[in-house]
Chain A
Amino acid sequence: MENADGISNFYWILIVGTSIVVLLVLAIIVFVSVYQRKVFRQQVAMQELETKKQRELLLATVQSKENERQRIAKDLHDEVGAMLSAIKMSVEGIIIKTKNKEAHDKAEYTKTIIDDTISNVRRISKDLMPATLNEFGLFAAVKEIHGIMKRSNTNILFELDMQGNDSILNKEQALSLYRVVQELLNNSVKHANAKKISINLNVESKRTTLLFTDNGKGFDIEQHGKIQVNNKGLGLKNIESRVSIFGGAVTFKSELGSGTQIEAYITY
């Protein structure tokens, strides 16, 4: 009887022991699962932190570039522009006072050159830092650059469509989008020989999308990537950098001979 009880107790102990070992194995499995999930979360957090750091660095670089542009634009406008105006007035004085025909003609010619230089300085200063953007916002600045381009390239058909409320964009976001439009317009006019350029800007509550299309000669995206390595195609790289600061991205669709379509967005 005692032996039977002993065996029964022993089997109970054995069952409990086996259960403990099985539980131990299960605990190891749970540990691994929890550990891997925690590691994954940590990796994601670190990646986000890295991306945030990169964005901040990029923003600082872009801002310092913009500050420098602003300084140069101000110097050009206030100092060079003022000096040129003074020279112009002095030349105008010579034109009025001189009786020598040859000197009068030369002074007139000089005045024309000074006028051209003044308007060039104004244009460069405006390109460097558009006052309209600061005063009236993105839509007005884009409308202005669009108008300038339209007037100086009468053989190109320009289309502009802007939707939404641009006042929700902060200064940095508006400036980035403006620079993107400026870069794309310059590329299309100067390098793509486009005959039709279309800009579509849509400001929504959470994101702004820019769709830029031209019917120019296009480019080979893969080849362009190689060119960028040689520091010759930094324009598109700049566009990518500018939108990525604001959690955006840019997609280029282009083929040689069939135009270019660029879609960029920023989020906020």
Chain B
Amino acid sequence: MTTTGIIYSLMALLPLSIAVINYRLLPRVLKWVAAFTFFSLFTEVTMSLLSKKGINNLFLIHIYVVVEYIVFGYVYAYYLNSIKLRKPIYITIVLFTAFSIFNVICLNGLKEFNTYGLLVEGALFIILSLLFFYKLFKDLEVGNLFTLPMFWINCAILIYFTANFMLFGLVELFPKEVGSNLWDNIHTTFTGVYSILMAIGLWKTRTV
């Protein structure tokens, strides 16, 4: 496992540990987020093991991206229900899954990096997270935003996917001279930020 891979895994352990500690206190919808942190770590470990054995592991990213959108799409559908977005979000889940299958068949194959899938997923999550902020601002139901678990989770998603959106968009532009290390380091940094914010979100369930 590379140094960045180790850091990635350690960062992923943070929300995972809190998800384990707080699992019983989490509302049903956030239990899906907690479960996803397990899936996330499982995928990461499997990818590292396959990489070590010299087996192409990029197919896992295709699966991971679809599962990630289904889980967080469901979470957003739950929280954005009051502005009548549940059905449109469910439709995007179906459409995104269909697009991912199309992507595997026609664009980025299973053995290629899932650039298009990640770009579309990033764009969708940016829109959903901004809609969540809009909903917060419209309803003004929460006295202190910092006590709202979904606020932290939403910040994690907005920052991480905006960064990802640019990184995966730039992946083709990364010159060989710069090397993949820099790309990895930037990605790891944002993964760290994502994990910390996600961990705070899962921890804040105790204060609600």
User: Any chain B CB within 8 A of the CB of A223?
Assistant: no
CA distance A21 to B173 in the complex (A): 19
Question: In the complex, what residues of B have CB within 8 A of residue A39's CB?
Answer: 140, 142-143
Which B residue sits closest to A3, measured CB to CB? B177
The smallest C-beta distance from A45 to any residue of chain B, in angstroms, reads 11
Q: Is the CB of A31 within 8 A of B178?
A: no
Number of A residues contacting the other chain (C-beta, 8 Å)? Answer: 22
CA distance A14 to B159 in the complex (A): 16
User: Any chain A CB within 8 A of the CB of B145?
Assistant: yes
Q: Is the CB of A25 within 8 A of B170?
A: no
The smallest C-beta distance from A161 to any residue of chain B, in angstroms, reads 49
Count of chain A to chain B residue pairs whose CB atoms are closer than 8 Å in the complex: 54
Interface size class of B (residues with CB under 8 A): 20 to 34
CA distance A3 to B158 in the complex (A): 33
CA distance A3 to B173 in the complex (A): 11
Asked whether A17 and B136 contact (CB < 8 A) given A32-B145, A36-B145, A43-B143, the answer is no
User: Any chain A CB within 8 A of the CB of B95?
Assistant: no
The smallest C-beta distance from B199 to any residue of chain A, in angstroms, reads 17
* 8 Å CB interface, B184-200 against A: 186, 190
* 8 Å CB interface, A1-43 against B: 3, 6-7, 9-10, 13-14, 17, 20-21, 24-25, 28, 31-32, 34-36, 38-39, 42-43
Question: In the complex, what residues of A have CB within 8 A of residue B166's CB?
Answer: 17, 20-21
Which A residue sits closest to B126, measured CB to CB? A24
Q: Is the CB of A35 within 8 A of B158?
A: no
* 8 Å CB interface, B132-152 against A: 133, 136-137, 140, 142-146
Question: In the complex, what residues of A have CB within 8 A of residue B143's CB?
Answer: 39, 43
Q: Is the CB of B175 within 8 A of A3?
A: yes
Which A residue sits closest to B170, measured CB to CB? A13
Question: In the complex, what residues of A have CB within 8 A of residue B102's CB?
Answer: none
Question: In the complex, what residues of B have CB within 8 A of residue A21's CB?
Answer: 159, 162-163, 166, 190
User: Any chain A CB within 8 A of the CB of B174?
Assistant: yes
CA distance A35 to B134 in the complex (A): 10
Q: Is the CB of B140 within 8 A of A42?
A: yes
Can you report 24 A-B residue pairs in the complex whose CB atoms are below 8 A from each other? Answer: A3-B175, A7-B178, A10-B173, A10-B175, A13-B170, A14-B170, A17-B166, A17-B170, A21-B163, A24-B158, A24-B159, A25-B159, A28-B155, A28-B159, A31-B133, A32-B145, A32-B146, A35-B136, A36-B145, A38-B137, A38-B140, A39-B140, A39-B142, A43-B143
Question: In the complex, what residues of A have CB within 8 A of residue B177's CB?
Answer: 3, 6-7
The smallest C-beta distance from A166 to any residue of chain B, in angstroms, reads 45
Asked whether A36 and B133 contact (CB < 8 A) given A7-B178, A17-B170, A20-B162, the answer is no
Which B residue sits closest to A11, measured CB to CB? B178
CA distance A55 to B18 in the complex (A): 49
Q: Is the CB of B137 within 8 A of A31?
A: yes
The smallest C-beta distance from B75 to any residue of chain A, in angstroms, reads 19
* 8 Å CB interface, B16-64 against A: none
Which B residue sits closest to A10, measured CB to CB? B175
20 additional A-B residue pairs with CB within 8 Å, beyond A10-B178, A32-B145: A6-B173, A6-B177, A7-B177, A7-B178, A10-B170, A10-B174, A13-B170, A14-B186, A17-B163, A17-B166, A17-B167, A21-B163, A24-B158, A28-B158, A31-B137, A32-B146, A34-B137, A35-B136, A36-B145, A39-B140
Which B residue sits closest to A36, measured CB to CB? B145
Question: In the complex, what residues of A have CB within 8 A of residue B162's CB?
Answer: 20-21, 24
